[in-house]
Amino acid sequence: MDYSLYLVADADYAAGRGLAGLIEAAVEGGVTLVQLRAKSLAGGAFVRLGLAVAARLATKGIPLLVNDRVDIALACGAAGVHLGQEDIPVPLARRLLGPGAIIGVSVNTPEEARRAEEEGADYVGAGPAYSTATKETPLPVLGPAGVGRVRRAVRLPVVAIGGISVASAAEMASAGADGVAVVSAILGAPDARAAASELRKAFGR
């Protein structure tokens, strides 16, 4: 699994700007993994969006994960889910999705990362790496040092998320991250394909 450039495709952030098309352009620019996040969509609308995105990604060989919702992941044939600390426990998600599913967990501390590893997660998302306006959180910003501490705590792949830009992607690579996850750096850019390409080069792993 290539975690190097991980797009969190947030339907609320995209605000109707043709999310499926933005995802496709980002993949052409170098995105290696996509997570679909849609906090405000009803289940039916979320499934329809998931099916449309999954169909496009299948032709590119890019895995699709779904944020929080195991039921939506199952309904649209996603490769797995990404879970927060307050979401369904990893062992239960594994039981529902099966042994081949990809399960990621958001973490803010080395202790949370170790617990995710013990419970059978496939990777952890360490954040917020920097301050971010795309997701409200009371959690402390990790910075390169904090991401490095998470990296040293586990054997799992570590993806840095939160406030990452072209300027800071190299810092996350130096901190030991296996990938960077972004929302606004791609979805908020004038050209999603070019933005993805620049991020991929900046991360350099």
Catalytic site residues? 37, 106, 135
- Measuring CA to CA, how many Å separate 168 from each of 128, 154, 182, 194, 197? 13, 23, 11, 17, 15
CA 123 – CA 161 distance, rounded (Å): 13
Cα–Cα distance for residue pair 102/158, rounded to 1 Å: 14
Asked whether the beta carbons of 134 and 153 are under 8 A apart, the reply is: no
Is 109 within 8 Å of 117 (Cβ atoms)? Answer: no
For 124, list phi and psi in degrees, rounded to 5. -125, 145
CA distance 105 to 47: 22
Cα(116)–Cα(118) distance, rounded to whole angstroms?
5
Angle between helices 110-119 and 90-97 (to 10 degrees): 30
